[in-house]
Structure 1
Amino acid sequence: MKGMMSYDLMETIRNTNEWMGASARAMASYPAWGLTPHPMFKLLSAWGRVTERSFARMVIKPDWGIRTVPSEDGRDHVVDEEAVLDRPFCTLIHFKVHGRAPMKRRVLLVAPMSGHYATLTRATVASLIPDCDVYVTDWKNARDIPVSEGKFDIEDYTLYLVDFMRALGPDINVVAICQPAPLALAATAMLAQQDPAAQPRTLVLIGGPVDPDAADTEVTDFGRRVTMGQLEQLVIQRVGFKYRGAGRLVYPGLMQIASFISMNLDTHAGAFQDKIVAEAKGDGSERDRHNVFYDEYLAVMDMTAEFYLSTVERIFKNVEIGRNSFTVAGKPVDLGRISTTAVFTVEGENDDISAPGQCVAALRLCTGLPEAKKASHLEPGAGHYGIFAGSSWRNHIRPKLIQFFDDQDDANPGTRRRRTPIRAA
């Protein structure tokens, strides 16, 4: 009950701030204040608009917003999201492009489950759709999943990826961004052990903590300082009465966004001050740079407690992937069994979340893979988000990925291709 009360207290604080913003916006916008013009009213109204929007976004799942895509035939084709496989904790979605011929390149984008929705990779998805047939793991908010659906930890996460890869076929190119990188590597190794013919064609790991000990960051330092008991006592709560998952133990998204903001507090405070001033001057807009970024950044989701705790303990503290000692259901997963999947790692020079060295360690662990099927790239000057969104991604990293896919396709011309998307039963 204590956990539920603290969860509901956080939601009450969020709701109150949203209400205060709405009230300030409405009160300062009364026409009567035009008789006594004063900059205070414009500032109050601007503060209210920014505050209301910011706190409202925290409980709303963003839309993908990918409506059309240009094609080589000179037309814009309509894009629809269709559920391919629907599981209790994740839906595998396919971005179906109507009227377009089947694409040679097929991509499974494994979105991170680290407090944000899969839509955090919207820019990545939108940039791949013109040249690829794209599938994405759309992870669900734990607060909306009934307790009756059971647990979900990193072993379950890995098994989900194994099922998705097997369902999509061996010609799939898997791209794992940040948090899922080590687990996508483990899932590929499981397929190599259980069903070698089902190994994906390529595996691209972008800025993930495959071996956190390879380079220190604030994230790895935090993982070492805090004991599991302290972590469970401090951050794990039960979903409150408002949601379908009432009673489920979770790591709340509101707590996650608070920790994210605290890491760069001065930067975020300055961004909101500038936005309020811009709104007061009348220079703000619905889709300006601030709103586009923070509408996504502030939209957070809860993670199951067992997933969060097992990630900290097994990926960061015990470094099970980095030491090749990871197990699923008590059975060892040998990363050295990966034999046909080409592996490509991408890191950002200025990445302060998954520092250079953590992700490229995957190549060292793939002892059964020929050197010709290993590749890496370090993007100069890029931070964590820059390696899968923004100019670094568009101008440098994305072209390298497309070329990597094509090179492996040319090297494996006999690989079966599934030309139509699979359908859920």
Structure 2
Amino acid sequence: MRYMATYDMMETMRNTNEWLGASAKAVAAFPAMGLVPNPFLQWIGAWGDVTERSFARMAVKPDWGIHSIPAEDGCDHLVSVESVFSRPFGDLIKFNVQGRPEKARKILLVAPMSGHYATLLRSTVASLLPDAEIYITDWHNARDIPVSEGKFDIEDYTLYLVDFMREIGPEANVIAVCQPAPLALAATAYLAELDPSAQPRTLTLIGGPIDPDAAATDVTDFGRRVTMGQLEKTAIQRVGFKFKGVGRMVYPGLLQLASFVSMNSERHSEAFKNQITRVSKGEAGDHDAHNRFYDEYLAVMDMTAEFYLSTVERIFKDGEIAKNQFVVNGTPIDIGKITSVAVKTVEGANDDISAPGQCVAALDLLTGLPDSKKASHLEPGAGHFGIFAGKSWRNNIRPLVLDFIDANAKPETPKAAEKPVQKSATVTKLKA
């Protein structure tokens, strides 16, 4: 599988399906087709419309689409996106709300690098932006990064987070969503030992695999079923000549997308069949629920081979974070060194990616952190997506996270001590 031809074949198949969809849509749209009022022609046109859009989305990085937000003054304020720290494999970007006084809360959202772009957290950003200064990690598509830039594995990822936290400063409140949760925890421990003044104020871990063995899912079982040799031979490909990263070994986004879709193939098939029917009847819209979801879901990016393989081997197979045996650039990471950063975990009761128990395991590793700075929340009825971008996030989890940040904004003051986090009705205090 590790050949340019294999990578180019996948891109050729994607491009061909996009072309077929565009052709069917164009043919059905010819005025002459009106002479043959056959519903089948309308269905062909609708199939082409949905197919072209779907396969075209796979090769495009989505736009953030956050143009303005309302503020306390009753006015809408324009939002601009600025890169404040640029690196070859990812940038730290900030959402600037023009004309609004700076907010006291500074939040760093650590987006997952698991096949989708950081825009997967668009709704998360939009929900937090009215109440905080928002920064987010914007990871780059590996196929667009020249081989000359070198490798990028989970140790490099962790060091990127360290640099991003230092850039924002000790007032940062870090929220890590899914895949980066264990590495955000490691980056915080790295700072706790080597640069305590740069530690974030709070760390919120949402649905992350701190201890994948705490509650098995199809994702963790997959890591157990295959050997690293099998994974390298079947999943890793070399970027073709079409892209700047020609020759780089990657785990292709298209291959990851196939895995995503296969997990709920019947549900996705039904969704596309229904969308084709709606388009043929003229009931679909450019920004309807189907397109809003799949424009983001289908937009995928490649990961470097070393990042993907080291994640599977060191996080899922060897459990280095769960065993507190993670090493970064030759430096052993001791999570017990975290003594002042308040840490909260959030899990969804129906999460089939990072099942309940995997994320909350972080609190047991924080042996140097007092119980008053530990908190957890289990959201009833919530799946994986819902705990950071769905209804559960909007209605329940977001307010809890903001309250947690505020409660630990100035831990040295009596005011913060009067409102201990563990007394909240929806937050459970855990013992280390």
- 1:15-414 alignment to 2 at 5 Å? 15-412=15-412
Q: Distance in 1 between matches of 2:410 and 2:365?
A: 25
| 1:58-105 superposed Cα distances (whole Å, 9 cap, x missing partner) | 000000011111110111111100110000000100101111111110
After superposing the two structures, state which structure 1 stretch, 154-163 or 196-205, moved more: 196-205
Q: Distance in 1 between matches of 2:7 and 2:86?
A: 28
What is the deviation of 1:390?
1.6
Could you tell me whether the CA contact under 8 Å between 2:142 and 2:302 is conserved in 1?
yes
Change (3 A) 1:147 1:381: same
What secondary structure does 1:221 align onto?
helix
Cross-structure match for 2:425 = none
| 1:186-211 superposed Cα distances (whole Å, 9 cap, x missing partner) | 00000001012221100000000000
What is the deviation of 1:330?
2.3
**Runs of 4 or more above 4 Å deviation:** none
What secondary structure does 1:359 align onto?
coil
Q: Distance in 2 between matches of 1:2 and 1:262?
A: 22
| 1:38-76 superposed Cα distances (whole Å, 9 cap, x missing partner) | 110010000000000000000000000111111101111
Q: How well do the aligned residues superpose, as a CA RMSD in angstroms?
A: 1.0
What secondary structure does 2:86 align onto?
strand
What secondary structure does 2:85 align onto?
strand
Letter in structure 2 aligned against 1:287: H
Letter in structure 1 aligned against 2:204: V
| Structure 1 alignment gaps of length 5 or more | 415-425
Could you tell me whether the CA contact under 8 Å between 1:387 and 1:397 is conserved in 2?
yes
Change (3 A) 1:366 1:2: closer
Q: Distance in 2 between matches of 1:139 and 1:195?
A: 24
Change (3 A) 1:250 1:55: same
What secondary structure does 1:130 align onto?
helix
Q: Distance in 1 between matches of 2:238 and 2:413?
A: 51
- Are positions 1:11 and 2:27 aligned together? no
Change (3 A) 1:313 1:2: closer
TM-score under structure 2 length normalisation: 0.95
What is the deviation of 1:2?
5.5
| Structure 2 alignment gaps of length 5 or more | 415-432
Could you tell me whether the CA contact under 8 Å between 1:58 and 1:254 is conserved in 2?
yes
Q: Distance in 1 between matches of 2:409 and 2:176?
A: 19
What secondary structure does 1:129 align onto?
helix
What is the deviation of 1:329?
1.8
Give aligned pairs, total: 414
Q: Distance in 1 between matches of 2:378 and 2:335?
A: 23
Letter in structure 2 aligned against 1:48: G
Could you tell me whether the CA contact under 8 Å between 1:62 and 1:299 is conserved in 2?
yes
Q: Distance in 2 between matches of 1:411 and 1:69?
A: 30
Q: Distance in 2 between matches of 1:176 and 1:309?
A: 21
| 1:141-170 superposed Cα distances (whole Å, 9 cap, x missing partner) | 000000000000000000000111112111
Q: Distance in 2 between matches of 1:34 and 1:44?
A: 14
What secondary structure does 1:293 align onto?
helix
What secondary structure does 1:80 align onto?
strand
Letter in structure 2 aligned against 1:400: L
Q: Distance in 2 between matches of 1:348 and 1:211?
A: 15
| 1:15-50 superposed Cα distances (whole Å, 9 cap, x missing partner) | 000000001111111111212211100100000000
What is the deviation of 1:355?
0.4
Q: Distance in 2 between matches of 1:54 and 1:3?
A: 26
Q: Larger RCO: Structure 1 or Structure 2 (Cα < 8 Å, ≥ 6 residues apart)?
A: 1
Letter in structure 2 aligned against 1:86: S
What is the deviation of 1:412?
3.9
What is the deviation of 1:380?
0.6
What secondary structure does 1:245 align onto?
coil
Letter in structure 2 aligned against 1:101: P
| 1:92-144 superposed Cα distances (whole Å, 9 cap, x missing partner) | 00101111111110000000000000000000000000000000000000000
What secondary structure does 1:411 align onto?
coil
Could you tell me whether the CA contact under 8 Å between 2:2 and 2:233 is conserved in 1?
no
What secondary structure does 2:3 align onto?
helix
Q: Distance in 1 between matches of 2:412 and 2:63?
A: 37
| 1:318-342 superposed Cα distances (whole Å, 9 cap, x missing partner) | 0000110000122210000001000
TM-score under structure 1 length normalisation: 0.96
Cross-structure match for 1:421 = none
Q: Distance in 1 between matches of 2:144 and 2:102?
A: 36
What secondary structure does 1:409 align onto?
coil
What is the deviation of 1:413?
5.2
What secondary structure does 2:267 align onto?
helix
